[in-house]
Structure 1
Amino acid sequence: MEIVLLERVEKLGQMGDVVRVKDGFARNFLLPRGKARRATKDNLRRFEEERAQLEARNLELRKEAEAVHAKLDGESFVVIRSASETGQLYGSVSTRDIAGLLTEGGFSTARNQVILDKPIKELGLVSVRIMLHPEVFSTVTLNVARTQDEAEAQARGENVLGRQDEEDEIEAEEFFEEGVLAADEETEGEDEELNS
């Protein structure tokens, strides 16, 4: 289906472009959300008449998005989740979770504005893109941790998983040292009994 875009759509085109898309994409996404119209003669003529209004509205929305971008870009948010000792989350951090976190932080965000390249399923620092406007993107850092202390350690650049491994190794060494000492004492006692 041929459509005329009423705003910039990522990976598709700019406002006013006439593009061919699959029927389902047009009917289920672009047309209902007001991002495009069918490319008929009447709609093309109507678009040209409304173009100045659409561009003015787009410019206004872009300025608002740039104001939010100035405050939001580079911000860091902490997400506390349950995870295994290897750092695998029990579940994942979804776009809904991120949008809720940003909204709590004072940045009104819908989940369709959050762009994840892949699901967040591990502890650590993750960069996430937020689409404030089709032409304005911000990047925020999510600090995914099990506790607030771990989040602070990750923010300082420490490897919390490595720290946990070191603690486990120290506990194991202490356990085996105690076991070896106890075993040595027992064998010494047995040796003395045999020698007597």
Structure 2
Amino acid sequence: MMALLVMIGAYLLGALSGSLILAPLFGRGDPRLSGSGNAGATNALRTGGKVYGASVLLFDVLKGVLAAALLPALAPAGPAWLAFACGGLAVVGHVWPVWFGFRGGKGAATLIGVIAVLLPAALAVAVLVWVATLVLTGFVGLATILGMLTVLLYTLIMPSTAAMLVFAGLMCLLVVYTHRENIARMRAGRENRFERVMLLRRGRRSS
């Protein structure tokens, strides 16, 4: 019973959207009504500036850390996979937050916090892939997808438990799903780029 309550708590924690909670403190409106319409750190940066964007990123990463590290400790007799379940549910809560009409972000920042706790070595490799993809293409969405694919490949190659494999597989599918519009825009040649970080600028409008 305690493990179930902890998992519910992980979802509710994840459903605390940083961009929506912090928006009034920065004099911003609902971020879902501007920019990409996404309640996440990238859109917060795009619509509200660096400080707002960084604050949202920190908020969302920390709730992932808490969900994966702190909440499972409340049920010490729980199953071995409890931390992975809590981490995954926190990401689900971020994407579909009960507090905000089930319209949230794409889950990347919260997922970073979760993976930092549960699969830190995989995260280190994924960050390298993410940075390389971003500076070469300028596509944040593509960098995020490839970063998560890297985590999945890491769990497949390195010795891993069933919980690790299931977690990485499901989170990879979720990241692809939440970035489906980015994929469609990239295929159509309409996806914006962060040209400021690109090594080879292509003369397109930065996002």
Same fold, TM-score > 0.5, yes or no: no
The structure carrying a bigger helix percent of its residues is 2
- Which one has more relative contact order, counting CA pairs under 8 Å at least 6 apart? 2
Max Rg structure: 1
Q: Which has the higher strand share?
A: 1
Instruction: Tell me the TM-score range normalised by the shorter chain.
Output: under 0.3
Per the normalisation by structure 1, the TM-score is: 0.24
